[in-house]
Amino acid sequence: MRLLLIGAPGAGKGTQAERLAARFGIAHISSGDLLRQHVRDQTALGRTVKSYVDNGDLVPDGVVMDMLRKPVVAAAQGYVLDGFPRTVEQAEASYAAVRSLGVEVQAAIHLDVPREDLIRRLLARRRGTEDAEAVVEHRLQVYQEKTVPLLAYYAGREWMSTVDGSRSADAVHDDIVRRIQRLAAFVTIAPA
């Protein structure tokens, strides 16, 4: 099974991706977690992306796509991709790349959460510089400008679902699983 989770900062992409990965035995691939790991390890890539991540700006497309290619291709049982694609450009460029490998996405879930809840969750978490109040504001603005157009681009596709992400993590998980099962009734979603 190959899934995408799309949602604003704090929408619960990481939380839900972890549960889905455990439930379906697929790889959890988080672009943000991988980038933060590079920053912590002070790799060449980490030094390139640090200021983008700290400031809440998107890292250049080529950097993210190069970083994700290997884990996506290696995910033999499938994957849940958390935080990618984030723009229409990333969606278009990656589709061409993964299609030729037969590992294109089969379902996308948009986690919809009101802005007040997002801010409350992120300020309570304080993961680092990126959860400072001004940076949270900026990340939400980047989401509006760059990722909301991606939702419009995917709108109306039968494999795309919007889920109310403001409920408990358990309720959101159960809803996502139901959506996937419903979708599986008319498209083939099986381990890759």
Residues forming the site for ligand AP5 (CB under 6 A): 7, 9-15, 31-32, 35, 52-53, 56-59, 64, 83-84, 86, 90, 121, 125, 139, 168-169, 172
Nearest residue relative to ligand AP5 (C-beta): 32
Contacted entry of Mg ion, ligand AP5, none for residue 52, CB cut-off 5 to 8 Å set by kind: ligand AP5
Toward ligand AP5, which CB reaches closer, 46 or 184? 46
In whole angstroms, what separates CA 77 from the centre of its chain?
18
φ/ψ of residue 112, rounded to 5: -100, 120
Residue 14 touches Mg ion, criterion: CB under 5 A: yes
Q: Of residues 28-47, which lie at the interface with Mg ion (CB under 5 A)?
A: 32
Toward ligand AP5, which CB reaches closer, 23 or 191? 23
Toward ligand AP5, which CB reaches closer, 77 or 129? 129
Contacted entry of ligand AP5, Mg ion, none for residue 110, CB cut-off 5 to 8 Å set by kind: none
Contacted entry of Mg ion, ligand AP5, none for residue 121, CB cut-off 5 to 8 Å set by kind: ligand AP5
Instruction: Catalog residues that contact Mg ion under the rule CB under 5 A.
Output: 13-14, 32
